Structure 1
Amino acid sequence: MYRETRIPYLHANLWVSVPDKADSLAEAADLDRRDLAFGPDAVHSPTSSLIVPDGCMDLIVIDSQILIAGADSTARRFHGSAAPTVGLRFDSGVLPQLLTTSARELADRVTPLDAVIGGRRADIGNGGQGRAASVTGASRVLLDTAGGLTDRAPMDPRPMALARALDVRSSSPAQTVTEAAAEFAYSPRQLRRLSAEWFGYGPKHLAKILRWQAARDLIDVGRSRTAAAAEVGYADAAHLRRDERSLIG
């Protein structure tokens, strides 16, 4: 079972993946009672999930440790445990700012938070120590930690604005990379460099991921692949399939 809720002040979604067994579901129900209004359920394997690229980065609690899941350029298989997993998925371009580091250095890998922020961890995360063993405890640790990072990092609106410009779900039709570069007054070379710093890869790859995600959203609510492909700007359904194969195999 998978559930998530929007946390607007963090520009993130809090998500919980719970194995399909009674004791974990009871713990998830306890989280619901604490007024976290989750959306519709989605079924995940209790031990293995396919993580598809979405242009985002996450903080995840596993075995009482906070990990950074860098932006994935292609799909990967995540082998979880029998315990619930809790994470914060940040909007594109947000988490690298909170960590004051380059998304390119974290792309396609999982890194302990302490390895990136060093001595700041004790100052930011003390309030959550000893509470990460439960779903509720892990959620509070993540929210407290992300809140502490947010308080210390000035937010640059440019990465989020660029992601919106390249995303057909936010800007219909989505801008091309050339159009986005012109709007932000960057040369193509500057835009590639900044995009790698902000998202972990270049603007063309980000646009490709965002368009495929937009088509996937439409297919998930019942549109045909042909209709979804046309609506988000693919030449045809075959074009959508080619992008899909290149991203998830």
Structure 2
Amino acid sequence: MGYREVPVRGAGLVCAWTAALPAGAEPFVQRVVPDGCVDVIWSEGGLQVAGPDTGPMPAAVRPGSVLVAVRFGPGAAPPVLGVPADAVRDARVPLRELWGGAADGLAEAVAGAGSLEERRAVLVGGVRARAAVAGPVDPLVPVVVAGVAGGSVRGVADAVGLGERQLRRRSLAVFGYGPKMLQRVLRFQRALGLARSGMALADVAFAAGYADQAHFANEVRALAGEPVRALL
């Protein structure tokens, strides 16, 4: 499948991506693994919201499929979508259920564009326009993301002046799951990036903060549903 990802800034976005499977190709199932992000994806069926996920999600790709999408960083999607992140956790939800007719209008505009690049630009512009009138991202987001990457959940709660239960409630709304799950997902993604760079798996486990290589392997299976070598 032809997949292309480009960085995007603003509106809480981290990238936009396009994918196309030629009409004569064999259908296949893409395994989507947790990354803490939320995607808004256009296809011929319209726009849908994907994630955040807590485990592997199979995505069937048919010959002739064309996909155009934007990806929100962890915690950035709720103001733009208009719902808490846990409302779309482990789900694929039609955007019209959240935006009403505005989602159909944007889907039609994307469909009416020419090339994949033009469709991507239309989708990015529509999401940015929506973000411009949405509420701000919870100020807790960057603090929690940085905190769980380098410390304990209790330490993060102390740093922001919240009890652990309060922190969990806030985290569910902005990330879709609690800070401990966010920590696991972000560590998994960091480890996956290191492994894909060619680092030895034992070194990856140490660098990413796992207790040992067995801990790393167990976490990969829990979050991705298969061994790490199958993801490389």
Query: Do they superpose with TM above 0.5?
Result: yes
Which residue number corresponds to residue 180 of structure 2? 204
The runs of at least 4 aligned residues of structure 1 exceeding 6 Å deviation read: none
1:150-189 CA distance string (max 9 Å, x none): 111132232233223223xxxxxx1211111111111100
Deviation at 1:74, TM superposition (A): 0.3
Asked whether the 8 Å contact 1:91–1:160 carries over to 2, the reply is no
1:105-142 CA distance string (max 9 Å, x none): 111110111101225446x7388264267523431332
Matches within 5 A, 1:94-133: 94-121=76-103, 125=106, 128=109, 130-131=111-112
- TM-score by structure 2 length? 0.86
The CA distance in 1 between the partners of 2:166 and 2:193, in whole Å, is: 31
Which residue number corresponds to residue 138 of structure 1? 119
| 2:19 partner letter | S
How many percent of aligned residue pairs carry the same amino acid?
A: 29
| 1:140 partner letter | A
- TM-score by structure 1 length? 0.81
| 1:248 partner letter | A
Deviation at 1:232, TM superposition (A): 1.3
Structure 2 vs 1, CA of residues 188 and 209 (structure 1 numbering), >3 Å: closer, same or farther? same
Asked whether the 8 Å contact 2:157–2:164 carries over to 1, the reply is yes
What stretches of structure 2 of length at least 5 have no aligned partner?
Answer: 226-232
Asked whether the 8 Å contact 2:46–2:107 carries over to 1, the reply is no
| CA RMSD in angstroms, aligned pairs only | 2.4
Deviation at 1:5, TM superposition (A): 1.0
What stretches of structure 1 of length at least 5 have no aligned partner?
Answer: 25-44, 168-173
Which residue number corresponds to residue 229 of structure 2? none
Structure 2 vs 1, CA of residues 240 and 141 (structure 1 numbering), >3 Å: closer, same or farther? same
Asked whether the 8 Å contact 1:55–1:72 carries over to 2, the reply is yes
Which residue number corresponds to residue 215 of structure 2? 239
| 1:214 partner letter | R
* DSSP-derived class of the 1:60 partner: strand
Alignment partner of 1:87 out of 59, 66, 69:
69
